[in-house]
Amino acid sequence: MYKLALILTVLVYFVAGRPQGGEQPEPYEYQYEVKDPEKELFFDKNEIGDAAGKVTGKYSVWLPDGRLMTVEYSVNGESGYVPKVSFDTTNPLG
């Protein structure tokens, strides 16, 4: 009985651990924003993924020195994560 349980456990491990092929990425979109002027806190993010697997997005963070750092990015196949960083002195809480 012990050997049968061991064989079944090993079999389940290998079948569940195999890469799943043929699955297409599902399109999605999400966003959020946190803004608290009293605590001088601001950050946001939005991201979109399409059925081809390409992801584009942007996130921003208000830095302690008063600048707003924004990172726009894309992820597409072999190119990997490609960011573009910019800074703005506009107060996002104003």
pLDDT tens for each residue of 32-68: 999 998 888 899 999 999 999 999 999 999 998 889 9
What is the helix (H) or strand (E) element at residue 42, kind and residue range? strand 41-49
Examine residue 47 and state whether it is found in any structural domain, yes or no: yes
Give bridge partners of residue 77 from the DSSP assignment.
none
In a domain, 26, yes or no: yes
Rg of the chain (C-alpha set): 22
What's the pLDDT at 11? Answer: 58
pLDDT, residue 68, reads 92
Domains of the chain: total: 1
pLDDT for residue 92: 60
Q: Is residue 59 part of a domain?
A: yes
**Does residue 18 surpass a pLDDT of 60?**
no
pLDDT of amino acid 66 = 86
Higher per-residue pLDDT: 77 or 52: 52
Asked if 74 and 89 touch (Cβ cutoff 8 Å), the reply is no
Domain ranges, residue 39: 21-88
Asked if residue 71 belongs to a domain, the reply is yes
